[in-house]
Amino acid sequence: MFIRNLLIEKIHRFLIDVIHFIRGMEIVIEAIYEKGILKPLEKLNLKEGERVKIKIERNLDEVLEEYCGLIESKITLEDIKKLRGEAKEWRKF
């Protein structure tokens, strides 16, 4: 049973590697930044010491909340989401 599970895990990792290779080696994951360190929210199939490039995309809702707080705006995040939805509708014309 142990050998079977180990084999399944190896095959699973191999298939993930193949998928990543086919996608151009690009992996998109979420991470949390804590105490100066980015912590992935899922396991990464990387070799120890492997170098990678990281593209950071901030969560738009968090950025908007932060901005509204900085300018002491009475506009809420829900107001902004509503306006974004209306803007998308206008773009259709």
**Domain hosting residue 68, numbered range:** 58-93
| Maximum mean pLDDT: which of 5-9, 15-19, 48-52 | 48-52
pLDDT at 34 over 90: yes
14 with 50, same domain: the answer is: yes
Domain harbouring 34, CATH code: 4.10.1150
3-class state of residue 40 by DSSP: strand
Task: Give the C-alpha separation, 93 to 86, whole Å.
Answer: 12
Find residue 33's DSSP bridge partners: 38
21 with 65, same domain: the answer is: no
For the chain, the average pLDDT equals 78
78 with 38, same domain: the answer is: no
Q: So what's the pLDDT on residue 81?
A: 74
37-52, pLDDT tens digit by residue?
A: 999 999 888 889 988 8
2 with 44, same domain: the answer is: yes
25 with 51, same domain: the answer is: yes
Q: So what's the pLDDT on residue 1?
A: 72
12 with 42, same domain: the answer is: yes
8 with 32, same domain: the answer is: yes
Overall number of domains in the chain = 2
pLDDT confidence band for 32 (50 / 70 / 90): very high
78 with 92, same domain: the answer is: yes
64 with 48, same domain: the answer is: no
pTM of the full structure: 0.41
Task: Give the C-alpha separation, 15 to 8, whole Å.
Answer: 11
